[in-house]
């Protein structure tokens, strides 16, 4: 039931998700930070075939597609996929293959990929079994020596006061916050190795500052990106950024 509610919600906000909903909630520098942290870890290469698992409207899909050979983009919100396709056409991007798909179901792709990216997706799968199925599917879709880049909510963050570890948010869909140890264990169960877990959004100021003091926010965001490379950031960041190898 939780996933059905989330699909309905994602369909409703898809048209304005990038231009209003996301930046209004998180702030433009928080979005800059997220893209910077994730894209740096993906490090897309010209010959890469990449899967964006839970792509939404393509905030990450489109920058990835500009830098690599091909991107498969899947999301269980049909309207989000429509918006992604519209934006890709407007921006002249032609190497994205998109489909409406639930990441907990076996992926229907005919070729394996070099990298799988999944940003703020696993945290909304409403069961431990479903989350493990999603990770197993990502592992299975990767080529040997392929890499996973994953971001999820962090329960060990300094900024989780007032939040619940597991439950339903105000929009009615499910949220799970991972400890660093939990996400490491989940990745190991799939067979992933060379696992790295760090944190980003370490300073908790973006939402409070909104669009004020842009030069200060820029300095904070750039410092945040540097701090996200340190091991201690896994106990501070609002989100965890995880990388692993098949």
Q: How confident is the model at residue 152 (pLDDT cuts 50, 70, 90)?
A: very high
Q: How far apart, in Å, are the Cα atoms of 13 and each of 9, 21, 80?
A: 6, 7, 9
Average pLDDT for 31-42: 93
Average pLDDT for 134-163: 92
Nearest to 205 by CA among 219, 187, 188: 219
pTM of the predicted structure, to 2 decimals: 0.92
Average pLDDT for 28-51: 93
Q: How confident is the model at residue 14 (pLDDT cuts 50, 70, 90)?
A: low
Digit-coded pLDDT (tens) for 64-85: 999 999 999 999 999 999 999 9
Q: Average per-residue pLDDT in the chain?
A: 90
Q: What b/e string do you get for 180-211 counting C-beta neighbours within 10 Å, with b at 16 or more?
A: bebbbebbeebebeebebbbbbbbebbeeeee
Give the pLDDT confidence score for residue 79 in this predicted structure: 93
Digit-coded pLDDT (tens) for 153-183: 999 887 777 788 998 877 777 899 999 999 9
User: CA 126 to CA 211: how far, in whole Å?
Assistant: 33
Q: What is the DSSP letter of 149?
A: E
Tokens of 102: 């639930």
Q: In sequence order, which residues have a C-beta less than 8 Å from that of residue 19 and are 6 or more positions away? A: none
Q: How confident is the model at residue 23 (pLDDT cuts 50, 70, 90)?
A: low
Whether 1 shows a pLDDT value over 60: the answer reads: no
Q: Walk me through the domains of the chain, giving residue ranges and CATH numbers.
A: 2-245 (3.40.50.150)
Give the pLDDT confidence score for residue 24 in this predicted structure: 65
**Which is higher by pLDDT, 209 or 220?**
220
Number of other CB atoms surrounding residue 85 within 10 Å: 16
Nearest to 11 by CA among 83, 107, 73, 59: 83
Helix axes 128-141, 180-190, angle to 10 degrees: 50
């Amino acid at each position: 039931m939780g996933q059905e509610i989330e699909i309905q919600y994602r369909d409703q906000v898809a048209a304005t998700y990038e231009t209003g909903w996301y930046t209004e909630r998180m702030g433009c520098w928080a979005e800059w930070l997220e893209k910077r942290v994730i894209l740096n870890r993906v490090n897309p290469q010209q010959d890469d075939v990449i899967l964006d698992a839970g792509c939404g409207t393509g905030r990450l899909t489109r920058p990835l597609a500009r830098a690599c050979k091909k991107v498969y983009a899947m999301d269980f919100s049909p309207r989000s996929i429509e918006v992604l396709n519209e934006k890709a056409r407007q921006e002249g991007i032609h190497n994205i293959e998109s489909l409406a798909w639930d990441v907990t179901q076996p992926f229907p792709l005919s070729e394996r990929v070099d990298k799988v990216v999944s940003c703020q997706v696993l945290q909304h799968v409403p069961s431990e079994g479903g989350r493990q199925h999603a990770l197993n599917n990502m592992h299975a879709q990767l080529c040997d020596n392929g890499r996973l880049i994953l971001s999820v909510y962090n329960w060990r963050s300094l900024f989780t006061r007032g939040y619940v570890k597991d439950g339903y948010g105000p929009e009615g869909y499910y949220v799970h916050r991972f400890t660093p140890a939990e996400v490491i264990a989940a990745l190991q169960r799939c067979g992933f190795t060379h696992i790295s877990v760090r944190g980003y959004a370490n300073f908790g100021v973006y939402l409070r500052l909104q669009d004020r003091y842009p030069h200060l926010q820029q300095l904070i965001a750039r410092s945040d990106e540097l701090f996200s490379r340190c091991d201690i950031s896994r106990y501070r960041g609002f989100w965890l950024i995880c990388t692993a190898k098949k």
